[in-house]
Amino acid sequence: MTTSYLEDSLTMFRYYEGLAERAMAQVGDEALAATMDAETNSIAITVKHMAGNMRSRWTDFLTSDGEKPDRNRDGEFEDSPDTREALLEIWETGWEYVFRALGELKEEDLTRVVTIRGEEHSVMQAINRQVAHYAYHCGQIVLLAKHYGAASWKTLTIARKGR
pLDDT in tens, 78-119: 999 999 999 999 999 999 999 999 999 999 999 999 999 999
SS3 percent helix, strand, coil of the chain, rounded to 5, is 65, 5, 30
Instruction: Count the Cβ atoms, other than its own, within 10 Å of residue 17.
Output: 19
| pLDDT (0 to 100) of residue 158 | 83
Q: Tell me: pLDDT of 161 over 90.
A: no
Sort strands 113-116 and 119-122 into parallel, antiparallel or unpaired. antiparallel
Distance CA 17, CA 156 (A): 12
Q: Which of 43, 16, 29, 28 is nearest to 130 (CA)?
A: 16
What SS3 class is residue 53? helix
How far apart are the two ends of the chain, measured CA to CA in Å? 32
| pLDDT (0 to 100) of residue 1 | 45
| Domain 5-28+37-151 CATH class label | mainly alpha
pLDDT in tens, 139-150: 999 999 999 998
Query: 113 - beta bridge partners?
Result: 122
Distance CA 130, CA 16 (A): 11
Q: Where are the domains of the chain?
A: 5-28+37-151
Q: Nearest 5 degrees, angle CA 49-CA 30-CA 159?
A: 80
| pLDDT (0 to 100) of residue 84 | 97
